[in-house]
Amino acid sequence: MIENKLLFSPLIISCILLTVLTLFTQSSADNVSPANPVPPSTICKSTPYPTFCKSVLVPNSNSSSSAYDYSLFSFRKSLSAARKFLTLINKNLQRSRDLTITAVRALEDCKFLAELNVDYLMNSFITVNGTSSKTLPLSKTDDVQTLLSAVLTNSQTCVDGLQATASAWSVRKWILSPLTNDTRLFSVSLALFTKAWVLKMKKKPSHPTGKHLTFENGRLSLKMSAKNQEILNTVSNRSLLQTHDKQVLVSDIVIVDQTGTGNFTTINDAVAAAPVNSNGSSGYFLIYITAGIYEEYVSIAKNKKYLMMIGDGINQTIITGNHSFVDGWTTFNSSTFAVVGAGFVAVNMTFRNTAGAIKHQAVAVRNGADLSTFYSCSFEAYQDTLYVHSLRQFYRECDIYGTVDFIFGNAAAVFQNCNLYPRLPLPNQFNAITAQGRMDPNQNTGISIQNCMIRPADDLNTTSIQTYLGRPWKEFSRTIYMQSYIDGFINPLGWHEWLGEFALNTSYYGEFNNRGAGSNTSGRVNWPGFHVIQSTDAANFTVSTFLLGDDWLFDTGVPFEGGLL
């Protein structure tokens, strides 16, 4: 991610100035029933931007409305603003011949993210239009809060990319000002939705243990047609795929093999053959990737939904690239592998970015896919290895290697039974395992690390290099380590500041029932944002509660624990 750029963001500066005001004004608004008519001045107290909120709700200022009505009105305004911003980006791209390649890449990121925002806002509005909190199921409420959280994240990602690209200065003045207002509007929409629809307590998990045994010793049971089974039987290393009672539904299967004996020789060709906008009800489109080193930049688009990729194992099926920030790529588009198509599943694969520590930001995987799962995968790079960008994500029994902020982003992400390996950084650098990017108090995002192993990589000199559990990339950064093994090489302070006093009061860092020499919390930072939490708080960041994983993870076949161990 972009170092030392954050404090110059107008979005963050505004948020800092309004944080104290919000804390004092929100309590009175919290007592308002979402169904009762209230004036805009009252309902706006529940948002991070009360004054801006009142200006947005001016058409309703002559009469009182309910929180539901205000929320729907703000949705319409947000959708209109997102469409106008997309038009603005397209106009700036039309004059791309006058811009440098790095500026064009930053604008292309903004276009990509703006298109997602239009989709997310439209889907959110369709979901809530004509409903109330009594008729909107919890799963749908979580869907909308997740999408609105991603809209804010997408906007901030556009800002970060433009600010980090020196050659984009000529277009910033045309983009940052309207985007700042848009982001405030999106924040107001999220706050009003939270006030109207989001319940204070999420449901209890329907499956207390949350266990699923479809994968047994790395073997997956697949329910497929006889034709697809015949195709699968042509794969020499098929011991991974065996049958038993519990099965994962597969609609079709293709094989990627570099020798030419499969359906395709490249992963991108297999992705191109996948159906468009599948709803997942008919099963996964399975891409089986045989052992080999695939030098490809793979991007799974938003319309390529419910893809499942299975490799021959970690360090057997390898996808690799070397794009980096130093070489002119934005952090966002430096990834070797990127996915935004919902319902994605990857199993038994390695993802690498080989740019090296000297090239700074160089992402192996960027994940912005809702309800996505990585099982028994390895992520290998240095700075910014795994970009958990947005939406809901689950990682199980994965290996993650890196140096500075090597797990970063603003998804709701749970890592369970994973191995986190800090490795040797550049001289004068320290390691930070996480840099979570929650920028708004109403976003349902954070990084939850449960029952993982935090140990040094073989190349790390633990006597000269300091390693921390994380640092606050954005103002409301939120990360929890629970029930994990933390080796003694972790600095006793545990956490490191980003820059000065930034976010030390507003971030949320929790530790619960960890073990190992590095888990001792007696010497931890004394920030207001750091907490040694109890089981009640820790339960809020489990798979079943934080991700509502019982509603979707069973279909993937990946094992998981829904609650605390």
Output the CA torsion sign for 487, 358, 405, 498: positive
| Residue entry with tokens 């509005």 | 125
Per-residue 3-state assignment (H helix, E strand, C coil) for 97-144:
HHCCHHHHHHHHHHHHHHHHHHHHHHHHHHHHCCCCCCCCCHHHHHHH
Closest by CA to 389, choosing from 106, 149, 103, is 149
The residues near 463 (Cβ < 8 Å, ≥ 6 apart) are none
The single residue of 252, 405, 550, 555 carrying the catalytic annotation is 405
Q: Which residues of 517-535 are buried (b: 16+ CB within 10 A; e: fewer)?
A: ebbeeeebbebebbbebee
Is residue 256 within 8 Å of residue 289, measured between CB atoms?
Answer: yes
Q: How far apart are CA 230 and CA 100, in angstroms?
A: 51
312 catalytically annotated: no
Instruction: Spell out where 290-445 has E strands.
Output: 292-294, 298-300, 307-311, 317-321, 337-339, 345-353, 365-367, 372-380, 386-388, 392-396, 399-402, 404-409, 412-416, 419-422, 431-436
β-partners of residue 345 are 308, 373
Region at 487 (left for phi over 0; alpha for psi -120 to 50; beta for the rest): beta
CB atoms within 10 A of CB 540: 15
Closest by CA to 353, choosing from 379, 327, 375, is 379
Q: For residue 446, what is the enclosing H or E element?
A: strand 446-450
| Residue entry with tokens 């939904």 | 305
Closest by CA to 394, choosing from 202, 148, 560, is 560
For 336, the 3-state DSSP assignment is coil
Instruction: For helices 169-196 and 10-30, give the axis angle rounded to 10 degrees.
Output: 10
Q: How far apart are CA 63 and CA 76, in angstroms?
A: 19
Closest by CA to 188, choosing from 16, 54, 330, 3, is 54
CA 486, 381, 538: angle at the middle one, nearest 5?
35
| Residue entry with tokens 């929180």 | 67
Q: How far apart are CA 284 and CA 252, in angstroms?
A: 7
The residues carrying an active-site annotation are 405
